Amino acid sequence: MAILFNNQDGQTEQWVKAFEEYLPSMALHVYPHTAVEEIKYAVVWNHPKGDLKRYPNLKAILNLGAGTDYLDADPDLPKVPIVRLLDPVVGINMAQYVLYWVMHFHRGYEQYRHQQMQAQWSRFQVPQMSDFRVSVLGLGLIGEYIAKYLAQSGFTSQAWNRSTKDVDNVRCFSGPEQLTDMLASTDVLVNCLPVNQQTQGMINHTLLNTLPKGRFLINVSRGGVINDADLLNALNSGQIKGAALDTFACEPLEQTSPYWLHPNVHVTPHISGATYADTSARVVADNILRMEKGEQPFPIYSHFPY
C-alpha cells in the first residue's frame, strides 16, 4: 500500500524528503503513477479532476490545503473521507498576513503613502487599537484563529458565522440579521469564508454598503466570495477605502484585471498561508498514521496555544 503525492504548488522534493523522515514505512509515489491498485492515500493539491476515481483501493484524500473547492468541483470524486490540511504554521502565517494589513489600515499608512506622492507632511489622529473594530466573516478553524489573534493583538475583534459559535474575547454574531449589525459596526472586514453555493458572490453591493463609508476589506479565503464588479464600484466611490486581496475568483489574476493598477488595492498572489513541507508533511503523516490505527485524523487546531 502506498501514498500518491501531487502538489501542484511545487516543493515536491522537500515533501518527498519530509515523508521519508515521518513515514518511513510507506512508499510515496509521485503523480502520475500507473500502479493504481497500490494507492491507499492520495496527498494532493489542485489534482486533475477525474483522476482520483482511478484508484480502487483509495481510503482517504489528504488535501494539502484548507480549501476543498477544487475537490468539490470534481464530479467523479470517490466517496472517501477528505482530510483538510490544518497546519498551525499555516494558521499563524495567515493571521500575521491579516494583522499586517489591519495595522496598515488602522494607522493610516494607506493615506500617508498617498500624501507622500504629493510631498505632503500632515498628521492625523487614528483611533486607539481597542476602538478599531475588525470583523471576521466565517468562524471555521482559520477564521477563529485569526479572530483570536486580532483580539490578542489589541484590536476589537468581532466575527460572524452562519451558525452560532462562541469564541473567547471575540464578539460573535450569527445569522442574517446579526450580520447586518456586525457590518454596521466594522472598520475592517476580513473574509475567511469558503466558497460554495451559499457564499458565492456574497460580498456584493448590498453587503459592502452596509459597512460605514470608507472602510477596508481583506480577503484571505476565496475570491469567488467577492462580487468583483461591486467591489470595484465600492472602491471607486470611496465606500471601500482600501482592500488587501490575496485570493481571486480566477488565479492567476488576469492581466486585464482592474485590481492590479487600482491605487487603493493591494494584490498578493495567494500567499497569506505560506506552507512549508517540513511542518505540513508532519501533520499529514500524523493523520495517515492515525487512520492506519483506525483513529480519526487529528484536529490539529485544538493545539493552538490559545
- Contact positions vs ligand GLV (CB under 6 A): 65-67, 273
Answer whether 218's CB lies under 8 Å from 189's CB: yes
CB 65 to ligand GLV: min, Å: 3
Is residue 68 within 8 A of residue 87, CB to CB? The reply is no
Alpha-helix runs per DSSP H in the chain: 12-22, 69-72, 88-106, 109-117, 141-152, 175-184, 205-210, 228-237, 277-292
Nearest partner of 51 among 99, 117, 4, judged by Cα: 4
Instruction: Considering the complex, state which of residue 223 and residue 242 has its C-beta at the smaller distance from ligand GLV.
Output: 223
Nearest distance from C-beta of residue 95 to ligand GLV, angstroms: 14
Q: For residues 65 and 242, which CB has a smaller minimum distance to ligand GLV in the complex?
A: 65
Question: Nearest approach, Cβ of 243 to ligand GLV (angstroms)?
Answer: 18
- Give the integer Cα–Cα distance in Å for 128 and 272: 26
Q: Is the dihedral of CA 37, 38, 41, 44 positive or negative?
A: negative
What is the biggest distance separating any 2 CA atoms in the chain, rounded to whole angstroms? 69
Closest among 255, 281, 274 to 9, alpha carbons compared: 274
Identify the three-state secondary structure at position 58.
coil
List the catalytic residue out of 104, 270, 282, 303.
Answer: 270
Q: How far is the CB of 23 from ligand GLV (least distance, A)?
A: 21
**3-state SS string for 242-257:** EEEECCCCCCCCCCCC
Q: How far is the CB of 66 from ligand GLV (least distance, A)?
A: 4
Q: Is 222 a catalytic residue?
A: yes
By beta-carbon proximity to ligand GLV, the closer residue of 98 and 211 is 98
- Which one, 90 or 234, has the nearer CB to ligand GLV? 90
Minimum distance from residue 17 beta carbon to ligand GLV (Å): 21
Phi-psi region for residue 201, left (φ > 0), alpha (ψ -120 to 50) or beta?
A: left
Nearer to ligand GLV, 65 or 138 (CB): 65
Give the three-state DSSP class for 73. Answer: coil
Catalytic residue among 84, 104, 222, 282: 222
| Residues designated as active site | 222, 270
